[in-house]
Amino acid sequence: MGWFRRSRKKQTQPVEQVDLWTICPSCKAHIYKEEWAKALMVCAKCGFHDKLTCHERVACTVDEKSFRELDRDIKPRDHLKFSDAKSRYADKAKETTEELGINEAILTGRATLNGIPIVLGVMDFRFIGGSLSSGVGDKIYLASDYALRHKRPLILFSASGGARMQEGIVSLMQMAKTCAGISRLNKAGIPYISVLTNPTFGGVSASYAMVGDLNIAEPGALIGFAGRRVIEQTIKQTLPPDFQTAEYLLAHGFVDRIVPRSEMKDLLAKVLCYGRRGKPPCKP
């Protein structure tokens, strides 16, 4: 019964399995990863806009190879020597930096958008929940200062859970500092466009994210200050199903427009062109 015996021949190496599919976090539809990437991580079935990294957002917003990072060396500062039961804040920040390859929860730089010079800031939710820290506040203020000195429009993409509690009152002070920087742009007549993505909460929504000359939101983005559960427990009422969505905020006058991700770059270019009277024509 030799045919029961295991062959002594060397087994061939197994073929590497390639994962071709991704699953929409909203409707659970299976989508080819290649199609998912081409659609900028927007589900073709339900329209869900998934989170983008800061580098992915830059790539789909500005002209190719035009982005130059500003203030790269700014990192989290552990003013309070904070630690909890799990780890020290300084260690957590260092680990996150090494994992993601970015030093803070926002990437800022200068670039062109359809040939128009701009200053861009993009928050990354992966970095401690996109929380507002002293480092984030510094980078936004310095970006606004660069925009002021070089007379370039400022565009900020927000994605945040709120203030970084590990920095205490220092984090909260960034709300005033960032708004002060943007106020200088307003006085100089330099446009500031705020784009709110999912999610935008806490001190970010209560400061620079909602004071744009134009406040734009992506479809379905959750935007607010406190979370839904906290509000319901406080007021002892059940909130509407669409409460704190971009669509709810548009209906109640808190944002100016909802723009799908695929149309965002063109819309921003049109807005910027509108304010360029007397300057060289925009790139088509």
- Residue 1 lies inside a defined structural domain of this protein: no
Together in a domain, 25 and 104? no
Domain that residue 33 falls in: 18-48
Question: Cβ(47)–Cβ(220) under 8 Å?
Answer: yes
Residue 74, classed as helix, strand or coil, is coil
Q: What is the mean pLDDT of each run of 10 residues along the chain (284 residues)?
A: 58 64 94 93 95 97 97 95 92 96 98 96 97 98 98 98 95 97 97 98 97 97 94 94 96 97 96 74 57
- Residue 100 lies inside a defined structural domain of this protein: yes
Report the pLDDT value the prediction gives residue 278, as an integer from 0 to 100.
54
* Spatial separation of the C-alpha atoms in residues 136 and 121, rounded to whole Å: 10
> What CATH number is attached to the domain comprising 183?
3.90.226.10
- Residue 8 lies inside a defined structural domain of this protein: no
Together in a domain, 106 and 151? yes
Together in a domain, 27 and 61? no
Q: Could you tell me which residues come within 8 angstroms of residue 176 by beta carbon, excluding any fewer than 6 positions away?
A: 207
Report the pLDDT value the prediction gives residue 2, as an integer from 0 to 100.
57
CA distances from 58 to 52, 121, 203 (A): 10, 9, 23
Angle at the Cα of 270 from the Cα atoms of 268 and 272, rounded to 5 degrees: 70
Together in a domain, 22 and 104? no
Question: Cβ(40)–Cβ(262) under 8 Å?
Answer: yes
Together in a domain, 43 and 73? no
Residue 224, classed as helix, strand or coil, is coil
Together in a domain, 120 and 242? yes
- Residue 4 lies inside a defined structural domain of this protein: no
The residue among 203, 198, 284, 208 whose CA lies nearest residue 249 is: 198
Number of domains in the chain: 2
Together in a domain, 91 and 57? yes
Together in a domain, 198 and 64? yes
Together in a domain, 36 and 136? no
HSE toward the beta carbon, residue 259, CA cutoff 13 A: 22
Together in a domain, 87 and 211? yes
Together in a domain, 224 and 261? yes
Residue 252, classed as helix, strand or coil, is coil
- Residue 193 lies inside a defined structural domain of this protein: yes
Question: Cβ(120)–Cβ(67) under 8 Å?
Answer: yes
Q: Could you tell me which residues come within 8 angstroms of residue 135 by beta carbon, excluding any fewer than 6 positions away?
A: 74, 75, 76, 77, 103, 104, 105
Report the pLDDT value the prediction gives residue 85, as an integer from 0 to 100.
85
Phi, psi of 16 (to 5 degrees): -65, 130
Together in a domain, 138 and 219? yes
